[in-house]
Chains A and B, each alone.
Chain A
Amino acid sequence: MPSVISAPILAHREVAPRHFVLTLHAPPIAASAQPGQFVQVRGVDWVDPLLPRPFSVMRAHRDKGDIEILYRVVGKGTALMTRWQPGGNAQVFGPLGKPFQLFPYGARVLIGGGVGIPPLLMLAEQCGRRPEAMRAATVVLQGARTADQLLCVEDFQRTGVTLELATDDGSTGHHGLVTDLLKPHISRLQARYGTVEVFTCGPMAMMRAVAETCRDGGVGCQVCLEAPMPCGFGVCMGCVVKVRGAWEIGQGSRRIKGWTMERHYKRVCHDGPVFDANEVVWDE
């Protein structure tokens, strides 16, 4: 059950150029947030800008009741947020949306870039708590333009899962697109673990390329989408994405899903933000 909270700001620090991590004390949100879910954040007295800004939950410390978000300064709202100081309060509500769905078996590839990284860190930390033998079955692939734009590298390393990096200028890791790294990993993990599920969040073009690779490779793929979100909790119909009609038979691991020719709009905030990549109509 989501809550609306005037949350004390506990910490606020710049972690990369124009990227900040904000720590808020929000116990009910921390208690239930799952990877892929987000919160709506707003200054307590905002009128202009008016609407809350959606940010993925990057960490939820259930014991302390704190959550962390990582944001990039891109406009009016995020510019105002940079002035927030510990001791003040921020309005936050959530957790919102449907989280990534994890199956207990099989290998996982987390692939993303930019501000798609925060939900993947939360997911990676969860994967890092899998039994020792399965930790190697999780791979994180992160891309950025340059090395200084890579996010949370040490945090990913600490989780114990495999991390590979790619930069457009070759300043760190693979010289090129992060999606170049995907196919070899899928083949390798498929041979070793049987099933592979891919989780992606980042720029639309990247997620689309990931979705295509997964479709061709016959592996499952969950995408975490973005859209302008006035409400974030499903009431305004402002954040829609075009999806295919779906059918489903069976249950649990025996479940078989398929798609029809029918198309309609779904709310990214409430029906997502995590969708089956095959459900999304990418060319709209």
Chain B
Amino acid sequence: MSSDQLPVNSDQLLVTPHQQRAGRDAPSLQIHIGPLCLRNPVMTASGTCGYGEELAEFVPLDKLGAIVTKTVTRHPREGNPPPRVCETAAGMLNAIGLQNVGIERFISDKLPFLRDAGATVIANIAGEDVAEFAELARRLDGVGGVAAIELNLSCPNVAGGLDFSTDPQLTEATCAAVKAATRLPVIAKLSPNVTDIVAIARAAVAGGADAVSLINTLVGMAIDVKTRRPKLANVTGGLSGPAIKPVALRMVYQVAQAVSVPVIGIGGIMTAEDALEFLLAGASAVQVGTATFTNPRVSLDVLEGIERWMQENGMGSVQEIVGGLRLAEHVPTLAR
């Protein structure tokens, strides 16, 4: 990737001598997500990297900013019947139905591996009600090897799964209950399947969330015309991949303007350039999801691409990129 294809040219940047010096040395990729300090801004998204074991065959997990583990629930879940996935234009639909090993086996069987691999773990959880979210968070509070908790407020593939993130009151109550139950940093993961994502993001922050991450998948469907059947057994599923990137970017931009906490950008990121777009729009970090299916090492490629771009542009730290979008004067602001 050459720097002139990228959204910001080096000659247009105001580079201070300090930054120039920093730029010649390896740039600092470290970032802060509220109280959480990550070695770099590139993570793998929940549900697209399992619990790390298989990914570790391709990627040294301690190189990534964090790995966000597959959503765990109080009890193991067997998931939806197949077919659970189908490809769509520049993306895919999934209706996995939160197949997972449950919180206890996550702690006993999955965390030790991640800890030994030196991974920074963000544990993604989903409860059936506010109390269960709090209970899961409390359970994770004491165990070693979890750096933060991400709340899956928005899984569209389970009955009632949408309730949390479409309702500002429930979102706020869930975040507040989880914050009260754990000392770990709490990230609220938001659904794009709402009319006003800013209202939900504000509610999460009001509830005490240390950061918000967005977006989860967009609800969609596909039909096999030959058989006249839905391509997914679950009929509908969550759309992910490059197809959703523009929507995700717009939502990250809106939310970053409206809230004071760090925003984590997710949706269709395939390259370093995609990730830089999210950072410029106001995200402090990114998660790579579906792209990992196209190439298990892609998160490392994204990271290396960001580092190279920072070097080429004399950037000393990631924080200098965050929110660096340039707007003409008098652009209408999207945030309300």
Question: In the complex, what residues of B have CB within 8 A of residue A4's CB?
Answer: 58, 295-297
Among A2, A42, A238, which residue has its beta carbon within 8 angstroms of that of B94? A238
Among B70, B89, B294, which residue has its beta carbon within 8 angstroms of that of A52? B294
Stretch in contact with the other chain, from B14-22, B31-39, B80-88, B305-313 = B80-88
Stretch in contact with the other chain, from B1-9, B44-52, B110-118, B159-167 = B44-52
Contact in complex: B295, A236 (CB < 8 Å) = no
Contact with B along A132-174 (1 / 0, CB 8 A): 0000000000000000000000000000000000000000000
Contact in complex: A238, B294 (CB < 8 Å) = no
A79 within 8 A of B: no
Question: In the complex, what residues of B have CB within 8 A of residue A73's CB?
Answer: none
Which B residue's beta carbon lies closest to that of A284? B81
Do A47 and B86 contact each other (CB < 8 Å), given the known contacts A235-B50, A236-B48?
no
B147 within 8 A of A: no
Question: In the complex, what residues of A have CB within 8 A of residue B224's CB?
Answer: none
Cα A4 to Cα B300 with chains together (Å):
12
B96 within 8 A of A: yes
Smallest CB separation, B169 vs chain A (Å): 32
Smallest CB separation, A245 vs chain B (Å): 12
Contact in complex: B242, A47 (CB < 8 Å) = yes
Stretch in contact with the other chain, from A103-111, A119-127, A186-194, A224-232 = A224-232
Contact in complex: A50, B294 (CB < 8 Å) = yes
Smallest CB separation, B257 vs chain A (Å): 29
Question: In the complex, what residues of A have CB within 8 A of residue B87's CB?
Answer: 49-51, 228, 230
Do A52 and B293 contact each other (CB < 8 Å), given the known contacts A4-B58, A264-B78?
yes
Q: Which of A30-55 contact B (CB under 8 A)?
A: 42, 46-52
A237 within 8 A of B: yes
Q: Which of A41-87 contact B (CB under 8 A)?
A: 42, 46-52
Contact in complex: A50, B84 (CB < 8 Å) = no
Smallest CB separation, A172 vs chain B (Å): 30
A93 within 8 A of B: yes
Cα A228 to Cα B231 with chains together (Å):
11
Contact in complex: A236, B47 (CB < 8 Å) = yes
Among B53, B83, B90, which residue has its beta carbon within 8 angstroms of that of A50? B90
Cα A227 to Cα B270 with chains together (Å):
24
Contact in complex: B96, A1 (CB < 8 Å) = no
Do A235 and B292 contact each other (CB < 8 Å), given the known contacts A4-B297, A49-B87?
yes
Do A1 and B57 contact each other (CB < 8 Å), given the known contacts A50-B294, A230-B293, A236-B94?
yes
Cα A238 to Cα B231 with chains together (Å):
13
Smallest CB separation, B231 vs chain A (Å): 9
Contact in complex: A234, B54 (CB < 8 Å) = yes
Question: In the complex, what residues of B have CB within 8 A of residue A259's CB?
Answer: none
Q: What count of chain B residues pass the 8 Å CB interface test?
A: 36
Do A50 and B79 contact each other (CB < 8 Å), given the known contacts A91-B295, A270-B54?
no
Cα A277 to Cα B86 with chains together (Å):
26
Question: In the complex, what residues of A have CB within 8 A of residue B81's CB?
Answer: 284
Cα A241 to Cα B82 with chains together (Å):
7
B55 within 8 A of A: yes
Contact in complex: B296, A93 (CB < 8 Å) = yes
Smallest CB separation, B280 vs chain A (Å): 21
Among A2, A51, A234, which residue has its beta carbon within 8 angstroms of that of B294? A51
Interface of B is mostly: loop
Do A2 and B57 contact each other (CB < 8 Å), given the known contacts A42-B294, A230-B293, A265-B99?
yes
Smallest CB separation, B87 vs chain A (Å): 5
B290 within 8 A of A: yes
Question: In the complex, what residues of B have CB within 8 A of residue A50's CB?
Answer: 87, 90-92, 241-242, 290, 294
Which B residue's beta carbon lies closest to that of A76? B87
Cα A155 to Cα B240 with chains together (Å):
42
Contact in complex: A51, B297 (CB < 8 Å) = no
Contact with B along A237-273 (1 / 0, CB 8 A): 1111100000000000000000000001100001000
Which B residue's beta carbon lies closest to that of A269? B54
Question: In the complex, what residues of A have CB within 8 A of residue B79's CB?
Answer: 237, 240, 265
Contact in complex: A2, B58 (CB < 8 Å) = yes
Cα A28 to Cα B290 with chains together (Å):
25
Cα A52 to Cα B87 with chains together (Å):
11
Cα A1 to Cα B89 with chains together (Å):
32
Contact in complex: A240, B90 (CB < 8 Å) = no
Cα A269 to Cα B26 with chains together (Å):
39
Contact in complex: A47, B84 (CB < 8 Å) = no
Contact in complex: B296, A233 (CB < 8 Å) = yes
Contact in complex: B90, A48 (CB < 8 Å) = yes
Smallest CB separation, B218 vs chain A (Å): 15
Cα A228 to Cα B96 with chains together (Å):
13
Contact in complex: B82, A231 (CB < 8 Å) = no
Which B residue's beta carbon lies closest to that of A238? B85
Cα A2 to Cα B296 with chains together (Å):
10
Contact in complex: A233, B54 (CB < 8 Å) = yes
Smallest CB separation, B314 vs chain A (Å): 30
Closest 4 CB pairs of A and B: A238-B85, A234-B54, A231-B293, A235-B50
Seed contacts A51-B293, A93-B58, A235-B50; 11 additional CB < 8 Å A-B pairs: A4-B58, A42-B294, A48-B242, A52-B293, A230-B87, A231-B48, A233-B55, A237-B70, A238-B84, A265-B99, A284-B81
Q: Could you list 18 examples of A-B contacts with CB < 8 Å?
A: A4-B58, A4-B296, A42-B295, A47-B270, A48-B90, A93-B58, A228-B83, A228-B85, A230-B87, A230-B94, A234-B50, A235-B48, A235-B54, A235-B55, A236-B50, A238-B96, A240-B99, A265-B79
